[in-house]
Structure 1
Amino acid sequence: MDDNPAPLLSQRAAIILTMAVAGGIGVGVLTYSSERSLAKAAIAGLVAFGTCMMGLPSLIG
């Protein structure tokens, strides 16, 4: 048995995922506070999350 198993995610991947989730939640909350529509807020948050997941890997080297 290996005493020090390999991590499930690299540190870079964890940072990118955390930043994308935070960005998606932030956009969703701001959209809900202005539009008062849960559907629009969910769509905006998911789009922001997807955009961050596509863009952040090129920024974080």
Structure 2
Amino acid sequence: MQNDPFVSQHTAIILLAGFVIGLVVGGLTFLSGTPAAGAVLAGLLSAGGSVPFLRTLIG
């Protein structure tokens, strides 16, 4: 039985960076006066949209 990791280090770094980008964008959107639901959506969209870019940038 092999002890392979669930995700590779490359994938973990990309997802973590996307998560941080989503938090920053969502937080800044909330601080600009947008309701919380809109800020959450902005954070989720920016996190999801940054993953393909980060994959090509870091890969």
The alignment's TM-score, normalised by the length of structure 2, stands at: 0.90
Q: Which runs of 5+ in 1 are unaligned?
A: none
Task: Give 1:12's aligned residue.
Answer: 10
Distance in 2, Cα, partners of 1:39 & 1:58: 30
C-alpha displacement of 1:7 = 0.4
What SS does structure 1 have at the residue aligned with 2:5?
Answer: coil
Q: Which runs of 5+ in 2 are unaligned?
A: none
- Residue identity matched to 2:29: T
Task: Give 2:56's aligned residue.
Answer: 58
Distance in 2, Cα, partners of 1:42 & 1:54: 20
C-alpha displacement of 1:53 = 1.3
4+ runs deviating over 2 angstroms: none
Tell me the C-alpha RMSD between the 2 structures.
Answer: 1.2
Aligned residues between the structures: 59
